Amino acid sequence: MSRTLPLTLALLGACVAVFFYATTLSGPDYTQFLVRYALIPRLLLGDPISTAGYSPLPAPVTLVTSMFVHGDTGHLVLNMIVLISFGAIVERALGAWRLAAIWLVAGVAGGLLHAAIEPNSTIPVVGASGALSGVFATAFLLDPRGRIFLVFIPMPYWLGMIVFVAAHAAFIATGWSPGIAWLAHVGGLLGGFVATAVLAPRLLRAT
C-alpha cells in the first residue's frame, strides 16, 4: 500500500478550508451558513418549522456537509489530529475508497442517531467527530493489539476502545457538556464497525 495519503489530506484540507471560510462570516451571514450546512435535527426528522429568510440545503444533504463544519479552533484542531492519526492508518491499510466509504457511513450514522434521539432539536450539529469515531473503530479492528496515544497517554488499542465507550456512556448518562453531540460519536463508532465488516471482512479475519 502506498504511503501517500491523498484522501486523508484532502479531507483535512476541506475541513480547514471550510473553517477559514466560516471565520470570514459574522452575524446573519454566519447564521445563514449554519442553517444551510449544519445538521439541524428538527429539519431532518422533527416537526416542520419555518425557514423563511434562509436557504437551507435539503436536510438529508446536511448529514454530509455538517461533517466539514467546525465550531471553533479547538474543535477543528482536535478532529484533525484524530484524522491524521487514524485516517492515515486506515488509508494505508484499506485504500482511499474504503476510507471514504467508512468516513461517509460513520458520519451519516452518527448524525442519524443524534437526530433520532433528539428529533425536535434546533441546535446545529457540526463536526467530523462522528465520521472520525468510525475511522477509529476501523483502525482498532485492523490492529486491536496495537498501541495508540489517547489524550497523549499511550495505551493498547483495546484499552483505548474501552475508555472511549465508558467515557461516552458516562457523559451521556450524566448529561455532561451538553454542547457536545456524544450520541453522534456513538453512532459513528457503530457505523464504522459495520462499514468495516462489510468492506474489509477478509482483511479483518487475517488480523
Q: List, for residues 75-130, the tens digit of each pLDDT value.
A: 999 999 999 999 999 999 999 999 999 999 999 999 999 999 999 999 999 999 99
- 3-state percent breakdown (helix, strand, coil) of the chain, nearest 5: 70, 5, 25
Report the number of distinct structural domains present in the chain.
Answer: 1
Q: What pTM did the predictor assign?
A: 0.90
Model confidence at 205, in pLDDT bands (50, 70, 90)?
low
| Residue bearing cell 484542531 | 77
Which secondary-structure segment (H or E) carries 148? strand 147-150
Domain membership of residue 156 (yes or no) is yes
Cell numbers for 187, please give them: 453512532
In this predicted structure, what is the pLDDT of residue 153?
Answer: 77
Encode pLDDT of 40-67 as tens digits.
Answer: 999 999 888 888 888 889 999 999 999 9
Cβ burial 65-81 (10 Å sphere, 16+ → b, else e): ebbbbbbeeebbeebbe
CATH code at 140?
1.20.1540.10
* DSSP string across 9-77: HHHHHHHHHHHHHHHT--HHHHHHHHHHHSB-HHHHTSS----TT--PPPGGGHHHHGGG--SSHHHHH
Q: Is residue 188 part of a domain?
A: yes
CA–CA gap between residue 130 and residue 188 (Å, rounded): 4
C-alpha cell at 198: 462489510
User: What local confidence, expressed as pLDDT, does residue 158 receive?
Assistant: 87
> Is residue 169 situated within a structural domain?
yes
Lookup: cell for 138: 476501523
Alpha helices (H) in 88-200, listed in sequence order:
88-94, 96-117, 129-142, 157-174, 182-199
- In the three-class reduction of DSSP (H, G, I as helix; E, B as strand; rest coil), residue 124 is classed as coil
Residue 132 located in a structural domain: yes
Tell me the pLDDT tens digit for each residue of 148-182: 876 677 888 888 899 999 999 998 888 877 778 99
Write down the pLDDT at residue 2.
45
Residue 1 lies in a domain: no
pLDDT for position 1? 42
Structural domain boundaries enclosing 140? 6-206
Grid coordinates representing 45 are: 426528522
The Cα-based distances of 9 to 15, 40, 78, 95 in angstroms read: 10, 28, 15, 13
